[in-house]
Structure 1
Amino acid sequence: MHTIPAKPPPAVLAYPMHGQGKFTTEGYRTRDAHLVEWLGRLTGGRGGVAVVSRPEPVVLRAAGALRRVGGPRGDGGGVAAGTHPVETTTWRLPDPRDRRRWWTRSADAYPGLPDDWRDVPAVVWNPFTALALPRSNPFVTGRTTVLDLLDDWSVHHAFAGIRADVERAYSAAFASACHVTANGEGTVALARRFGRDDVVLLPNGCDPERFDDTSAASGPLTVGYVGKIGRRLDLDGIIDCIEAEPEVGFVFAGPVLDRGYRRPLASMPNVTLLGDVHYDDVPALLRSFDVGWVPHRVGSSGGSPGGEVGGDIIKTYEYRAAGLPVLTTPVDGCDSRGLDGVTVLPLDGHAARLGGWRRSGPRVARRPSVIPHDATWRPKAETILAAASGSPSPVAEAAR
């Protein structure tokens, strides 16, 4: 562990799920990234946000730096305005036989904080920080800490091998957090399981000004999915839908996380796999779609692979900000976020709906929509900042 060199305290400390490397490589596209961006904008004039990344091995960090390409954003180098990355490296190495264990092993490598940063409030997305050494731990007594929940990692398939460690981290984080906010009904249930009945539901959103409802779609009816390609998607249902509508083009933009998904999708003649797309390029990509697709699995995973993992789906907001009609499976919250233009059907009904659009198309008219104010990122960041700044509870702000 090393200590952050003495420097003026920031307005806020931020502990994202991963860190600045991900933000720079992928663009600020995840919940923690969007909120960090806005916290930087809101506090840039009074110290900004210190982004304390999950520690990375020195060797892997150097290799990753060679691959990273940061677009012009904020004050340069792909770093959001008003935010300041904190160096978080370690000479430790992950065990190649059990890489998930790095979530726990890296906790002790978080940098120590200067003494005059002790009262700086913290917003935390990585619960494993609650297991860090006292000098590095954002949950120390005297600091106002907001724990903002992403997915429920206790049922997420990616954390199945370290389930006991996840439970231990959550227990410590929930016991010490001053405020808890959650992005969906599943994460609200998670907080309540650990005794936090004061949890505030604060669903995801978007920055609608980044998108426009111009269509550049051409060729056959184009159904697009933007996001990670893995076990949250119902592969069998997706294949059935694609086979049932061979005259429809299906575009998947995102990294393939599970190898079993690549070959079945790549083998289909009406499927295009684009690979990962930087977030700065997503608005232009959405112009090429006719329909925004959310073919997610439905229901609780109950600790087994697959199923919902407690979170909210950002892409639905972004599809609608781009004027795309949305076709989604009935995941939690899909019909209760104040969005219009969203068709909710079980996956086995998607082919029929797409066939109807195709026969009356091939284009599907854009459906421009005004995204509700409370479905945008700024008021969510303001709610979290109010809590971090000493508000007795974020409930009043969240209800605005």
Structure 2
Amino acid sequence: MPRTTPPSLASASFQPIPNIVRQSQAANSEQPLLLCFSHLRWNFVFQRPQHLLSRAARTYRVFFFEEPIFEDGIEPDLRVERSNEGVMVAVPMLPHGLSPAEIDEHLRDLVDGLVADTPAAETVLWYYTPMAMSFSDHLSADVVIYDCMDELSAFRGASPHMRECERKLFAKADIVFTGGMSLYESKRRQHHNVHAFPSSVDAAHFARARRLGAVDPADQADIPHPRVGFFGVVDERMDLDFVREIAELRPDLNFVFIGPVVKIDPASLPQRANIHWLGGKDYKALPDYLAGWDMALMPFALNESTRFISPTKTPEFLAAGKPVVSTAVADVVKPYGTEGLVEIAATPAEAAAAIDKLFRMDRKPWEEKVNRKLASMSWDKTWGEMNQLILAELRPASGLGTSATAGVAARV
């Protein structure tokens, strides 16, 4: 397919989309384009964006536009690769030393080049970060989605312009999704079309941890039982004092933590003989680690950065058959705490007592409640319901028919 980059992009070095993709453009040109702007990298942690957009890629051409990577002495460039899930991951490469205005100018050129090289009858813009409005606010689309999975303005290091950009995104968006009920209550008065889609679960994936005879991964095999585990990003949302205190209270328990350490000094992690920091692991390997745990712990700090979170790991731990003790995060307390699926603890001493309670409980009634809860949840169902809302916006404008709707009913 001939290049159709506008003249204004002549100064930008846009890497052509790989041949395997370009050769299929003609065949796929009737598929809607879904262009996602994210503050998270596709290969960082497999979570909400990956679950949803992997499913979107079955019927849309999905491009995942990441934040830029800076290197010395390079020309502005966009590197595009296909993920194993069929999503095209677009990574802007920019030289060091640019001003914020110059960064936005180059990103605008690169995203314009991507859109020009990916013709589509219908276009959906999907935002995870409002900050992308600084270089994409000019783009037109048939539907604009804001999937608000976190209150990013409350996170450590958040841009002072985050709230202003979010106001612009609310004005541009046709639909707003929220990652939990607390966020829904916070955002529903800011837009006319807000829908709550709390974190869901790939139950079959994590149910692998329930199988007997699992072989412990090598870096976990020598950790004695009982084991109480956590996986997820280790950042300012984790209450490190809580971790330190419960480990001191219960030297008989071994606490296993899996996940990358970001935005905090690794030297600040509490160090004890019964605390084990194993680092980040591939999503596919998580059930192997979970299989060797006796219980799960969610020691979240209760602060501005956790006020609106809806941890995806809650249903994942339950799907793995692991009893859970958590601090009082609002979207964990309700529904999981109130439904008797998760024990809520305000202090390390309460958490230790809750762990003892869970070790003594009759597991069968609890497992039956867990299974009933999980039976109503899946990422397939979540994506199917989201897509129906998107199609309701697309249809009046374009008469969209079969391409994006194929197979939706079977997955809802």
TM score, norm. by length of structure 1: 0.76
1:148 paired with 2:141, answer no
Pair 1:124–1:288, CA change in 2 (3 A)? same
SS in 2 for 1:372: helix
CA distance in 1 between counterparts of 2:314 and 2:148 reads: 19
Percent of paired sites with the same residue: 17
What is aligned with 1:383?
385
SS in 2 for 1:389: helix
Q: Is the 8 A contact 1:256 1:262 kept in 2?
A: no
CA distance in 1 between counterparts of 2:259 and 2:204 reads: 22
* Aligned counterpart in structure 2 of residue 323 of structure 1, from 304, 321, 324: 321
Q: Is the 8 A contact 1:205 1:375 kept in 2?
A: yes
Query: How far has the Cα of 1:241 moved from its partner?
Result: 0.9
1:241 paired with 2:246, answer yes
* Aligned counterpart in structure 2 of residue 32 of structure 1, from 33, 49, 64: 49
Q: CA RMSD in A?
A: 3.6
Pair 1:197–1:57, CA change in 2 (3 A)? same
SS in 2 for 1:312: coil
What is aligned with 2:32?
11
Write out per-residue CA displacement over residues 247-301 of structure 1, whole angstroms, 9 at most, x where no aligned residue.
Answer: 0000000112244454442x201011100111111111110111111111125x2
CA distance in 2 between counterparts of 1:40 and 1:310 reads: 28
1:53 paired with 2:74, answer no
The size of the alignment, in residue pairs, is: 350
- Residue identity opposite 1:327 in structure 2: V
Counting only pairs closer than 5 Å after superposition, residues 325-344 of structure 1 correspond to structure 2 as: 325-337=323-335, 341-344=341-344
Query: How far has the Cα of 1:234 moved from its partner?
Result: 1.2
Query: How far has the Cα of 1:389 moved from its partner?
Result: 2.0
SS in 2 for 1:51: strand
- Residue identity opposite 1:38 in structure 2: R
Query: How far has the Cα of 1:16 moved from its partner?
Result: 4.5
Query: How far has the Cα of 1:226 moved from its partner?
Result: 0.2
Q: Is the 8 A contact 2:246 2:352 kept in 1?
A: yes
* Aligned counterpart in structure 1 of residue 122 of structure 2, from 119, 122, 125: 119
What is aligned with 2:351?
350
Counting only pairs closer than 5 Å after superposition, residues 138-217 of structure 1 correspond to structure 2 as: 140=140, 142-159=141-158, 162-163=159-160, 165-192=161-188, 195-212=190-207, 213-214=210-211, 216=214
Query: How far has the Cα of 1:53 moved from its partner?
Result: 1.6
CA distance in 1 between counterparts of 2:329 and 2:108 reads: 36
Write out per-residue CA displacement over residues 286-325 of structure 1, whole angstroms, 9 at most, x where no aligned residue.
Answer: 10111111111125x2xxxxx4152210001100011111
- Residue identity opposite 1:130 in structure 2: M
CA distance in 2 between counterparts of 1:295 and 1:312 reads: 14
Pair 1:261–1:133, CA change in 2 (3 A)? closer
* Aligned counterpart in structure 1 of residue 280 of structure 2, from 276, 294, 302: 276
CA distance in 1 between counterparts of 2:381 and 2:110 reads: 30
1:252 paired with 2:257, answer yes
Structure 1 unaligned regions, length at least 5: 63-75, 302-306
1:295 paired with 2:299, answer yes
Query: How far has the Cα of 1:367 moved from its partner?
Result: 3.5
SS in 1 for 2:330: coil
- Residue identity opposite 2:201 in structure 1: C
Q: Is the 8 A contact 1:183 1:202 kept in 2?
A: yes
Pair 1:270–1:3, CA change in 2 (3 A)? closer
SS in 2 for 1:233: coil
Pair 1:111–1:226, CA change in 2 (3 A)? same
CA distance in 1 between counterparts of 2:57 and 2:297 reads: 31
Larger radius of gyration between Structure 1 and Structure 2: 2
Query: How far has the Cα of 1:172 moved from its partner?
Result: 1.1
Q: Is the 8 A contact 1:230 1:261 kept in 2?
A: no
Q: Is the 8 A contact 1:146 1:181 kept in 2?
A: yes
CA distance in 2 between counterparts of 1:214 and 1:116 reads: 47
Q: Is the 8 A contact 2:32 2:121 kept in 1?
A: no
Pair 1:184–1:13, CA change in 2 (3 A)? same
Q: Is the 8 A contact 1:327 1:343 kept in 2?
A: yes
Q: Is the 8 A contact 2:309 2:329 kept in 1?
A: no
CA distance in 1 between counterparts of 2:134 and 2:121 reads: 17
- Residue identity opposite 1:284 in structure 2: D
What is aligned with 1:311?
309
CA distance in 1 between counterparts of 2:106 and 2:253 reads: 46
- Residue identity opposite 1:388 in structure 2: I
Pair 1:261–1:3, CA change in 2 (3 A)? closer
SS in 2 for 1:334: helix
CA distance in 2 between counterparts of 1:54 and 1:378 reads: 24
* Aligned counterpart in structure 2 of residue 229 of structure 1, from 224, 234, 241: 234
Q: Is the 8 A contact 1:312 1:333 kept in 2?
A: yes
CA distance in 1 between counterparts of 2:393 and 2:347 reads: 43
Write out per-residue CA displacement over residues 120-153 of structure 1, whole angstroms, 9 at most, x where no aligned residue.
Answer: 2232222223222466x3xx2x521111111111
Q: Is the 8 A contact 1:221 1:364 kept in 2?
A: no
Structure 2 unaligned regions, length at least 5: 1-11, 75-80, 217-222, 396-408
Q: Is the 8 A contact 1:184 1:310 kept in 2?
A: yes
CA distance in 1 between counterparts of 2:298 and 2:162 reads: 28
